Amino acid sequence: MTIKEHGTLEDYYNHFPLTDYFSFDICPYTSIVKFESNEEILCEGEKPDYLYYLIDGRAKLFISQGNGRISLINFINAPCFVGEMELIGAQDTANGIMAITPCTCYAIRIEKCKDRILNDTKFLRYLCLFLSQKAIRNTYNYSKNQAYPLEIRLAKFILMTSCNRLYRENHTEVSEFLGVTYRHLLYVLADFVKRGLLAKTKQGYFIQDISTLRNIAEIK
C-alpha cells in the first residue's frame, strides 16, 4: 500500500528525515509503502525497482536452495536500508526479504535517481559505515549465540520472529538456522509448552508467558 496523502508524507519526513543520508533532496523520488506480516518486501531472484528504508518493523532475509529448501540468512530491524547491495551492484538480483511484522518503508525509485545516489559522497560514506557495522554485528552475534544453550537461543529467536505473540516459523528452517537437530528443536519447543511459556495452536505457537520467555532470552 502506497501512502499518497501529502500530510501523512510530511509527518513521516519530519520524524524520519532521509535528508540525513543524502546531499540532495531525495523526497521527490520517494513514496511511503506498508507491508503486512508475511508479505514480501524484496522478491527473490528479481531486480529491485526501489531502494527501501525500513522505518519500523522487522523482516527476515532468506534464500532458496537448489533442492527446494528455504534457508534463513538473517533478520532486519528498523531503522535501516533494504536493497542496498543490489543498488551498488554487489549482486544483480535480490535475496528474498519478507516482513515478520507490519513494516513501513520509504521507497526510493531507483531508475529516477540512481546516478545521483551512486555519486553522492554523503550517502556512500554512510553506506560504507552501515555495511561495516552490519558485518561486525553479524559476526559478533553469530559467535556469541553459538556459546549459548539452545533454550536461550530459541527463546530469543521466538521473540524476534513472532508477530502479535504468535510464532509460526518452519521447524526445518529454524533448526538449520540455529545449527541444531530437528529433534532437539522439537524437544525444547515441547518443553516450553509444558512449562506454559507457549501454547500450541492451529496457527502456530502462541506466547503465553512473554515475561518468562524474555528472562530466558536474557533480554533486559
Q: Residue 127 has what pLDDT?
A: 93
Is the pLDDT at 144 greater than 80? The verdict is no
Per-residue exposure over 181-191, b if at least 16 CB sit within 10 Å of its own CB, e if not: eeeebeebbee
Residues 6+ apart with CB under 8 A from 131: 84
Per-residue exposure over 86-99, b if at least 16 CB sit within 10 Å of its own CB, e if not: bbeeeeeebbbbbb
Domain 148-218 in CATH 3.40.50.300: no
Which residues in the chain are classed under CATH 2.60.120.10? Answer: 9-129
User: How confident is residue 3, by pLDDT bands cut at 50, 70 and 90?
Assistant: low
pLDDT (tens digit per residue) in 107-132: 999 998 999 999 999 999 999 998 99
The chain-wide mean pLDDT, for the chain, equals 89
Residue whose entry in the numeric block shows the C-alpha cell 540455529: 178
Q: Quickly list DSSP for 147-173.
A: TS-HHHHHHHHHHHH-BTTEE---HHH
Rounded to the nearest 5 degrees, what angle is found at the Cα of 178, between the Cα atoms of 71 and 197? 115
- H or E segment at 112? helix 110-118
Which residues in the chain are classed under CATH 1.10.10.10? Answer: 148-218
Is the pLDDT at 220 greater than 50? The verdict is no
Domain 9-129 architecture: Sandwich (2.60)
Percentage of the chain exceeding pLDDT 90: 66
User: How confident is residue 142, by pLDDT bands cut at 50, 70 and 90?
Assistant: confident
User: How confident is residue 15, by pLDDT bands cut at 50, 70 and 90?
Assistant: confident
Strand, coil or helix: what is 213? helix
